[in-house]
Amino acid sequence: MPIYEYACTACGEQIEVQATIAEKEKGLKVVCPKCGSRKTARVFGSFTVTGASRGQGGPSTCCGPQAGPGCCG
């Protein structure tokens, strides 16, 4: 079951919500456990799947042996 990461827009608390894709599609009601606000926004960028024990992200095409100009600052 995937874990969706949300952030409370009121206090900035990060919330991890475990839900099935079906539940997600129906619309999750995420309530901040810290301040009780329902103004939560989905956080993208760090996608976690339970059961998977993979390492850090995938191979990067930037900052690698074939990094082009403009990469790596």
Q: Which stretch binds Zn ion (CB under 5 A): 27-35, 45-53, 55-63, 65-73?
A: 27-35
Which residues is 3 bridged to in the sheet? Answer: 18, 48
What mask, x for binding Zn ion by CB under 5 A, covers residues 52 to 71? --------------------
The structure tokens listed for 25 are 């599609």
Q: Which stretch binds Zn ion (CB under 5 A): 10-18, 41-49, 50-58, 62-70?
A: 10-18
The structure tokens listed for 8 are 């409370």
DSSP for 33-46 reads TTT----EEE--S-
The answer to the question of residue 31 lying near Zn ion (CB under 5 A) is: no
The answer to the question of residue 41 lying near Zn ion (CB under 5 A) is: no
Q: Which residue has the tokens 């082009």?
A: 68
